[in-house]
Structure 1
Amino acid sequence: MNRKWFLLSLLFIAFGIILTACSSTASEERKDLVLGATVPYSDMLKDGVVPQLEKKGYNVEVKEFNDYVQPNIALDNGDLDANLFQHKVYLENFNKERNLELIDIISVPTAPIGIYSEKYGSLEEIEEGSTVAIANDPTNLARGLTVIRDAGLIELKEEINPVNATVNDVKENPKQLTFNEVDAAQLPRSLESVDFAAINGNFAVAAGLDLTAAIYRDVIPDEIQNRIVVRADDKDNQVSKDIIEAVESEEFAKVIAEKFAGFHKPKWMEE
């Protein structure tokens, strides 16, 4: 091999090494993130998580959704790096129905379903024959009914799975309540025309209701606590680790105390 070809070979080798190094660095230093959430969890991300990710050098966009389907579709197809809007039961059912592999990495404070009323100031004041508004979609309908049950206003059939409860599963209704099923997002507005309503926390917050003003608030079990979710393949990557670190920080806890009063904290935050 003459000197010319020897030098050219060295140049090609060096160029290949540089390309490999650049490719590796670009992969390791991926800093543009898109996080998806519904209100008010989009605000929780913006105030409690994004500032800390930015300190680590990430450029973060928070995309807001107004439904419970598209955030998971967007996450699965790569348009999102993580999302925050759902609890474990919903996630597991969604994965099963859509054949997806999404996984939760950490739970966060969750706005509880509350019983709100412009007529009554306490559960004891609720009169016989009162009308109550509840969500009409299966997931939120069941949760609304279990909250009304836990408040001592109705009893559900023992043999049914509370996760799938409907009005037909009400076994005892001592106050002869009348149930009005409406779209979950319209529940706050329904307070003008019913005696009380079981309203999802996110819709209550979006409507400007004070969570602490509810005459009864759901005590949320762990499996109903909302979670930050990623693709299964990304569970142990650096982005997921940095998100978890942000949520577990004192800064995040301070934001929750100052801006998310009435949210039910997961067990790990109470320990």
Structure 2
Amino acid sequence: MTYKYTLDKTSKKFSCPACAKKTFVRYIEVETSKYLESSIGRCDRESKCAYHKSPNGNKPITYNVIQKMEVTSYHDDTVIGSYGRNYRANNFVQYLRQYFCTTDIEAVVRKYFIGTSTYWKGATIFWQVDHEMNVRAGKVMLYDSNSGKRVKKPFNHINWMHKVLHLNDFVLQQCLFGIHNLCDYAEGSTVCIVESEKTAIIMTLLYPEYLWLATGSKTNLKSSVIKPLKDCKIIVYPDKTEYKDWNTKVEAFQKNGYTIICSKFIEGLNVSEGADLADVMN
């Protein structure tokens, strides 16, 4: 269903009226693509700011013609191999070398199709390959090779490979990061879901007996991405302060027949807001 107004889907961000950070996404009018008033929008800092002002009168648009349904786009199968090298120049992989042996790192790189990008020097590509082995997306992220933290200054270093490769009209429909590995696990296996791709990799290195997957964002825990896991036992591990939101979703999944629970492990620890399993295990 298409509404009269929607949040801008481009990467453009503005200064938030509440926190003044450049993390504010404004609403646009769908038919004209024009921005609404500068105060109408949502701050991406959902936990620390949570400013969200919706436009008035946002009703569905009724068309007299059948609208074209968007079909999920996929990258060419060869794209992963094209970026599967030069790990000495991959900041995230170099960070892992401080704590794990080379053999284990090489194994997890192969298992999750971790790539290296020159879009930013030292950048990592986390490919999203679905349970049918379709390459749905590639998320480009930059980490500090010493601390393992994401580089957020002077801007948040995140992009998508379809934008890097200038693939016009690419329809992004995400899946869980790592879900292509589902075929290697028996029916009824325990699957653990975290938010961060980095955390899924580190937890795989620490606890390889479980299949670790990542949503890639706090809002991407939804029915469309967990559907392939209907026959699995699922444990989700929300970041600190996100338990209430994820548990609400988990309760809805339980009503739809999923064997799923939401862990309170992080929520019960005296750690900073946004901390996750990788932070605790460090």
Q: Same fold by TM (over 0.5)?
A: no
User: TM-score, normalising length from structure 2?
Assistant: 0.25
User: TM-score, normalising length from structure 1?
Assistant: 0.26
Return the structure number with greater helix share. 1
Larger-Rg structure:
1
